[in-house]
Amino acid sequence: MPVLPLRDLCVMPGIAMYFEVGRKELIDCLERVIRTEEQQVLILTQKNSVSKSEDSQIEEFFDRGTVAEVKQITHLRDGQTIRVTMIGLRRAVPKTLATVDGVLMAEVELLDRLSASAPEEQQMAMAEEIRRLFYTYGEVTGKVGMAKVNSIIAGEDLETMLYEIATCMSVNYEIKQNFLEFDDIEKLYGAICSALDREIYEKRLQEEIDSRVRERINEDQKEYYLREEIKLLRKELGEEDSASEADKMLERLEKLKAPKKIKKAIREEIQRFARNGSHSSESSVSRGYVETLLQMPWKKMSRENKDLLHAGEILDRDHYGLQKVKERILECLAIRNLKPDSASPIICLVGPPGTGKTSIARSVAQAMNRQYVRICLGGVRDEAEIRGHRRTYVGAMPGRIAVGLKNAGVKNPVMVLDEIDKVGSDGRGDPAAALLEVLDPEQNKNFSDHYIELPLDLTQVLFICTANTLDTVPRPLIDRMEVIEVSGYTQNEKFHIAKDHLWKKQLENTGLKKSQLTISDKALWRVILNYTRESGVRGLEKQLGRLCRKAARRIVTEGAVKLRISDRNLEEYLGKPLYLLNMANARPEVGVVRGLAWTSSGGDTLEIEAALFPGKGELVLTGKLGDVMKESAQIALSVAKAYLGEQVEEGYFRKWDLHIHVPEGATPKDGPSAGVTMATAIYSAVSGKKVRADMAMTGEITLRGRVLPIGGLKEKLLAAKTAGIKLVMVPEKNQKDVNELEEEILEGLEIKYARYIQDIWKEAFV
């Protein structure tokens, strides 16, 4: 039987159909078939619809085809295409293919009609169901006219109806070819029902999507028209500027990185601003509020430097010493490497002025690659400085914390709270209490600023607080911070800081070059010893700046090319020495004992003198002493009386007045560390024993003669070393503090510990 190979087309048994043919070999085949008696041809569908192979193989076609009778051939006007009308007869299977006289021929096995194993009642139910489903298909999809649908479902034969429905369906030719593969009518029925259901579902889904799209388009068009109308109305009212500003704010909001709740609140505020209009009294307030919200770094963070070696190099480059602070920062970086989302520590640097507390915070920011923000709290008395003003007030503004974050532009800066010990309080609130929330890791995740009224996350901020003393800082605030003491510098540390940092800085500030002005090491030492007296290096920096200014003037006026400052010509620049070292006495004396004191500018030595005069047993105190030192003198006298009772005659202390004097009477003196010094002076004055001149002592005393621990030990030992003291008596409980000191401080000093006053007296008297 001749073979008519078709692409993308299947012919069903019992179904009449027509189509156009343009390939020459197919036209020749059909013209031969129409001249035969039976006019039958085998319709086979190619698997590959784009195949153009001339030598057709059986593998190129599907396994099932249809034997059809050619009814009519009509040549179209173009002369190259024919329209063929045929009717499918039976399904068939090609066995072999061969080309005979230019025509593709096939050995064909004809197949019987579909078998039906189901009873007649079930077949009738199947016919009713397929009619209902195909009717729905026609209604929903519109791919088949309803007249055609009604014509098909009016048929009685189930097999013919199924093939007619398969022919009318708008599905892929491969699916239709699959319908020819079924030999059982029930399986064919199931496959066609599934295909109809799928087509109906896809069409309904597409209609639903189209409906939503149309609704959205209608809403957008409606919104567009309304906005245009609002613009025209605002233009007539002269409020066009506020609308355009609101649009710009909305554009900035879209680019803002912030949580959804924050963006929603900002959007509502922008809409409120747009509704108020530019002439409203609230317009400027609302505009400023929105601008502040849009500038806050809700999610923006700077990328941290996690290289510990690099951070350590920066800290060592900028600062000499301060090992505890550097170690703590490097520990923080190490933890950030292991746990990037860990909360930043809250550090409080406590120490005398000029010790580099604020400047090292700037180096920390550089080492961690974070933004640096400094907030000075000295003299702050209004709680609104921390929490911000409520927007109900005219001129309201955010608090300093929120402003610091806004200026930094990121949510993880290094924020320095400078002079936290000088925060005051009055009727406007207690700023120190407001700082409790700022510096509490459990609370500052949702810090509330009265102006912003939206939660600010401060957990990623590295807070570094600075203070000269913790005496005025509330206890709850201290508990929230990690306190690191930044004690005074040794003379050697001051020398290195001056040589490596301060001198270069002052040369740069005055515009001098290294070749124009140099200073000898001996001159630097003299500046440190004779022109400054402090724990830090601020005064030292001022003196070096004074040297540079004097030299700059000489270079300009005298035309000097190169100047050198040495210890011999230092007084020409700085004048006579401002301070003379309070050196140890040359020889032992009676009633003269050297004590050690801590001051805000560092350590110092004090000579306490005691003398007896005939009188009525009165105690005279001079030297502008505070209440604590006066009480120490009373206790020292009682202790001396207790130990000297057997060595003096009865009624001795009722016949003699005791005068205790602390030199430099114009300087106020107070503190709980002069008890042992006063007791030793009294004991020496009464007993007539001389006290070692190269010895100093510190510590408080009880009525039972026990020696109590003291603070500021490092500064006191530095002062003793500067004064040429060889032996220092320290309370036994301060031994742990001595063990933590650098070897440089202890070098040249003999430290002995005292538990009772007798331990000191054993070493003190010659």
Helices and strands in the chain: count of H runs, count of E runs: 28, 26
- CB proximity list for 449: less than 8 A, separation 6 or greater: 387, 388, 398, 399, 401, 402, 456
Nearest to residue 386, comparing CAs of 346, 420, 412? 420
Strands 462-467 and 346-350 turn out to be parallel
Give me the residue label for tokens 């190619």: 46
Q: Is residue 126 part of a domain?
A: no
Distance CA 720, CA 524 (A): 21
Q: Are 159 and 180 in contact (CB under 8 A)?
A: no
Distance CA 528, CA 490 (A): 10
Q: Are residues 12 and 43 in the same domain?
A: yes
Q: In terms of C-beta density within 10 A (0-12 exposed, 13-18 middle, 19 or more buried), how is residue 687 classed?
A: middle
DSSP string, 378-401: TT---THHHH---TTSTT----HH
Distance CA 524, CA 337 (A): 42
Q: Is residue 582 part of a domain?
A: no
Q: Are residues 363 and 452 in the same domain?
A: yes
Looking at residue 333, what is its pLDDT? 82
Q: Are residues 465 and 518 in the same domain?
A: no
Strands 750-754 and 727-731 turn out to be parallel
DSSP string, 435-503: HHHHT-TTTGGGEE-TTT-SEE--TT-EEEEEES-STTS-HHHHHTSEEEE--PPPHHHHHHHIIIIIH
C-alpha distances in Å from residue 451, one per residue of 391, 402, 457, 687:
6, 9, 15, 71
Model pTM score: 0.58
Q: Are residues 378 and 313 in the same domain?
A: yes
Other CB atoms within a 10 A radius of the CB of residue 306 amount to 14
Q: Are residues 546 and 569 in the same domain?
A: yes
Q: Are residues 646 and 712 in the same domain?
A: yes
Q: Which residue ranges of the chain lie beneath pLDDT 70?
A: 49-56, 227, 230-231, 233-244, 277-281, 426-428, 581-584, 600-602, 665-667
* Residue span of the structural domain in which 340 resides: 308-485
| Domain edge (last residue) among 455, 485, 515 | 485
Q: Tokens representing 720?
A: 């003793």
Give the three-class secondary structure for 41: strand
| Domain edge (last residue) among 64, 87, 110 | 110
Q: In 439-517, which residue ranges form alpha helices assigned H by DSSP?
A: 475-479, 491-497, 503-510
557-568 b/e (C-beta count within 10 Å ≥ 16 → b) = eeeeeebebebe
Q: Tokens representing 725?
A: 């003291």
- CB proximity list for 724: less than 8 A, separation 6 or greater: 581, 583, 584, 694
| Domain edge (last residue) among 547, 574, 601 | 574
Looking at residue 698, what is its pLDDT? 92
Q: Are 141 and 199 in contact (CB under 8 A)?
A: yes
Q: Are residues 609 and 736 in the same domain?
A: yes
Sign of CA dihedral 376, 379, 383, 389: negative
Q: Are 755 and 706 in contact (CB under 8 A)?
A: yes
* Active site residue ranges: 673, 716
C-alpha distances in Å from residue 163, one per residue of 20, 90, 138:
21, 12, 16
Q: Is residue 401 part of a domain?
A: yes
Count up the domains in the chain and report the number: 5
Q: Are residues 614 and 697 in the same domain?
A: yes
Distance CA 2, CA 106 (A): 6
Strands 602-614 and 656-661 turn out to be antiparallel
CATH of the domain at 77: 2.30.130.40
Length of the chain: 766
Looking at residue 706, what is its pLDDT? 92
The one-character DSSP state at 421 is G
Q: Is residue 595 part of a domain?
A: yes
Nearest to residue 759, comparing CAs of 699, 718, 713, 712? 699
Give me the residue label for tokens 């009373």: 634
Give the HSE-up count for residue 754: Cα atoms under 13 Å, Cβ half-sphere.
29
Q: Is residue 584 part of a domain?
A: no
Q: Are residues 608 and 724 in the same domain?
A: yes
Give the HSE-up count for residue 457: Cα atoms under 13 Å, Cβ half-sphere.
16
Distance CA 543, CA 527 (A): 7
Q: Tokens representing 536?
A: 């830090």
Distance CA 180, CA 10 (A): 9
Nearest to residue 57, comparing CAs of 16, 24, 99, 89? 99
Q: Is residue 208 part of a domain?
A: no
Q: Which amino acid is at 708?
A: L
pLDDT tens per residue across span 447-471: 888 888 888 888 888 888 888 888 8
Rg (CA), the chain: 51
Q: Is residue 198 part of a domain?
A: no
Q: Are 666 and 624 in contact (CB under 8 A)?
A: yes
Q: Tokens representing 606?
A: 């004090």
Q: Are residues 388 and 262 in the same domain?
A: no
Q: Are residues 481 and 498 in the same domain?
A: no
Q: Are residues 386 and 463 in the same domain?
A: yes
Nearest to residue 689, comparing CAs of 590, 756, 609, 555? 590
Give the HSE-up count for residue 276: Cα atoms under 13 Å, Cβ half-sphere.
18
CATH of the domain at 715: 3.30.230.10
CATH of the domain at 516: 1.10.8.60
Q: Is residue 233 part of a domain?
A: no
Give the three-class secondary structure for 231: helix
Distance CA 513, CA 118 (A): 111
Distance CA 453, CA 439 (A): 19
CATH of the domain at 434: 3.40.50.300
Looking at residue 187, what is its pLDDT? 86
pLDDT tens per residue across span 161-220: 888 888 888 888 888 888 888 888 888 888 888 888 888 888 888 888 888 888 877 777
